[in-house]
Structure 1
């Protein structure tokens, strides 16, 4: 076989360039610490690495969502505790205000403190987070959710209904609401026990009728109707009562007897239609009490009502009866508000626990993924250094061989 001088030179140069390329590649691997520099180095490994890195980035985003959301929920939990403390103090004042040892002057002091607690709750309802967003405004977080008109009536103008609360993804399959709307926290609070309540709708002069409580004795018999308890004189100096439906017809009581012109016994419950109403005091002819299904009531109007009753004082029998009834109503409604606060606070705590648990899962997942990527992509320095030295020797040998070969020529043998 004929071997030309040009071919000899080209073969030597090609060998030197290949050795240089391999040495350069190993040098880059040592500099970067990565085994795979281009997909062609390991197509399968590069594909796996890309897949793992996409999962890592998504998991890191889930973790950022948790880190950004937790402080907001923690702030809401703290606000709920402050609101509960305010309502507990309001409850103490209401109980004290109904005590006969109090005077109208001291009741006005208590009313003033209740007004301050109401203002505190209003401030809590309009609290912002460190980003300047309103905690209880829902998705409409840049607008003040609670406002008062000229008469002091509080209105909620934040987001309501489906989609009113922002939700964040904390994993591919889990989302967590970041907050609650002011409507759910402060406005839509069920009256009394959330099922039924009773109120005085007509009070005659000199009446000392007091509604003590309204509760349910059999939920199976409970309906959504309104019933009126009417009081009348029996002609012998006593007072009777009748329980009438919406058509004005007397209905049966718990024991099956018709509740019409029944003798009134103060403090004895009147049972009908699955509900029980306890009335005390001294009602007079023409007094009326309505038993109806409970509806939602905001905590601001609950406080407004009892403040008005305390400021009215107890100068007359009617005013004293009004205060006693307003106290019982306010206590029931405040207990419902406190229970609502506690339920929401517990739910917030559950969400925070969910985030903590998911955060641990995300951290474990990131560690596993990064370990897997490291095993595929990272360089074995011991092997690479050994290979680098071998490639250096090979390159030097190729250069030396080329140097010696380049001196040969057929003319040296002529």
Structure 2
């Protein structure tokens, strides 16, 4: 077989180029620290590595969202703690206001203190995140949720929306709560509220209410108790009207009134002392139907404390107003505490999800490392192997170049 000189050159050159290519690939791997420099190095591994990298990016996004949610809920939690402290201060002032030895001046002073707490509570209800976004405005976070209306009362300008953040693969979480759910709502378990009529002129004072039979058919209904004199005997009696049905219907027959006796209706009971006047009324209704605006409740208490007490009837009206107001404030506090507990639970859940996300990210990183990262010991060994082979190929090519018969011919 005839071997041409050009063929020897081509083979030598091909060998050198092949060794150079292998050496350059190992050099790139050593320089990047990656086993897969281009997809062609390992198509299957490159595809799997791309999928894992995308999973890491998504997991990182969940982590960022959880950080955002934690910050938002942290701000809300701080504000709610201040709200709780303020409402507890209000409760303390109401206890002082119930002291029968106080005079008009003392009560006016307490009203001033309650007004300061009212203003502080209003400021907390309009808390923002420091960037002009109000915490309790729902989706209307660009403007203050609570403002004073034309009639002097506080009105809510926000909505009931809650910003939901995708904090994990299958978990959306509310990153805030609306002002209506905080300051204008009560819990379903709040029970009943008793209120005296605004025009009452008697001395009847009601006590705390107790639930005696929650299975009563009328339990949960709104009741109106009217006092009047019996047309025949002139004795004081009262009738109960179910205000929930339409039209309102009387419940049973008129009942004679005895001071200090218990009034039982609709599965609840309370005691009424003193002597109501004919025409006086009491409203007995579930808390959800008795006015849930904490600012309105507090305003009514302040007004009652500012009203001079000049008679036994005035004292009865004050005592009833304080009793009703205290019940409403307690219901408001229970509602805030419930929301505060919910916020704390969400923050705790975010901490757990962060731990899960960290472990997930570690698994992803380990998998990606096994697919992409370079085995330096093996790569360095290959590097020297290819370098030696390249040097051998270069030296062989030089020797092949020197193979020429003409240099052996004598001139």
Fold equivalence (TM over 0.5) = yes
Could you tell me which residue of structure 1 aligns to residue 184 of structure 2?
187
1:280 to partner: Cα distance? 2.2
CA distance in 2, matches of 1:92, 1:226: 30
CA distance in 2, matches of 1:317, 1:44: 92
1:111 to partner: Cα distance? 0.7
Secondary structure of 2:310 counterpart = coil
Secondary structure of 1:379 counterpart = coil
Deviations 1:342-372 (A, max 9, x none): 1001101110110000100111111111011
Could you tell me which residue of structure 2 aligns to residue 243 of structure 1?
240
Partners of 1:147 and 1:156 within 8 A in 2: yes
Could you tell me which residue of structure 2 aligns to residue 379 of structure 1?
374
1:151 to partner: Cα distance? 4.1
Could you tell me which residue of structure 2 aligns to residue 304 of structure 1?
299
1:265 to partner: Cα distance? 2.7
Could you tell me which residue of structure 1 aligns to residue 335 of structure 2?
340
CA distance in 2, matches of 1:244, 1:42: 84
CA distance in 2, matches of 1:261, 1:23: 107
Distance 1:102 1:237, change over 3 A: farther
Deviations 1:272-321 (A, max 9, x none): 22232432222122212232343251111011000000001312333211
1:248 to partner: Cα distance? 7.4
Could you tell me which residue of structure 2 aligns to residue 200 of structure 1?
196
CA RMSD across the alignment: 2.2
User: Unpaired runs of 5+ in structure 1?
Assistant: 253-257
Could you tell me which residue of structure 1 aligns to residue 271 of structure 2?
278
CA distance in 2, matches of 1:305, 1:13: 100
Partners of 1:240 and 1:263 within 8 A in 2: yes
Give TM-score scaled by structure 1 length: 0.91
Secondary structure of 2:34 counterpart = coil
Distance 1:249 1:66, change over 3 A: closer
Kindly indicate whether residue 281 of structure 2 is the aligned counterpart of residue 288 of structure 1.
Answer: yes
**1:51-200 alignment, distance < 5 Å:** 51-160=51-160, 164-189=161-186, 194-200=190-196
- Alignment equivalent of 1:232, drawn from 218, 228, 231: 228
Could you tell me which residue of structure 1 aligns to residue 257 of structure 2?
263
Distance 1:159 1:242, change over 3 A: closer
Which shows bigger deviation, 367-376 or 277-286?
277-286
CA distance in 2, matches of 1:146, 1:244: 36
CA distance in 2, matches of 1:154, 1:209: 31
Which shows bigger deviation, 361-370 or 194-203?
194-203
Partners of 1:209 and 1:283 within 8 A in 2: yes
Which shows bigger deviation, 50-59 or 317-326?
317-326
1:226 to partner: Cα distance? 3.7
CA distance in 2, matches of 1:93, 1:350: 31
CA distance in 2, matches of 1:360, 1:241: 63
Partners of 1:225 and 1:292 within 8 A in 2: yes
1:237 to partner: Cα distance? 8.1
Partners of 1:231 and 1:241 within 8 A in 2: yes
Distance 1:285 1:166, change over 3 A: same
CA distance in 2, matches of 1:93, 1:81: 19
Distance 1:302 1:248, change over 3 A: closer
Partners of 2:195 and 2:321 within 8 A in 1: no
**1:356-371 alignment, distance < 5 Å:** 356-371=351-366
- Alignment equivalent of 1:330, drawn from 320, 325, 328: 325
1:404 to partner: Cα distance? 1.1
Distance 1:368 1:249, change over 3 A: closer
1:62 to partner: Cα distance? 0.7
Kindly indicate whether residue 383 of structure 2 is the aligned counterpart of residue 388 of structure 1.
Answer: yes
Number of residue pairs aligned between Structure 1 and Structure 2? 402
Secondary structure of 1:282 counterpart = coil
Secondary structure of 1:213 counterpart = coil
Which shows bigger deviation, 235-244 or 100-109?
235-244
CA distance in 1, matches of 2:173, 2:196: 44
1:227 to partner: Cα distance? 2.9
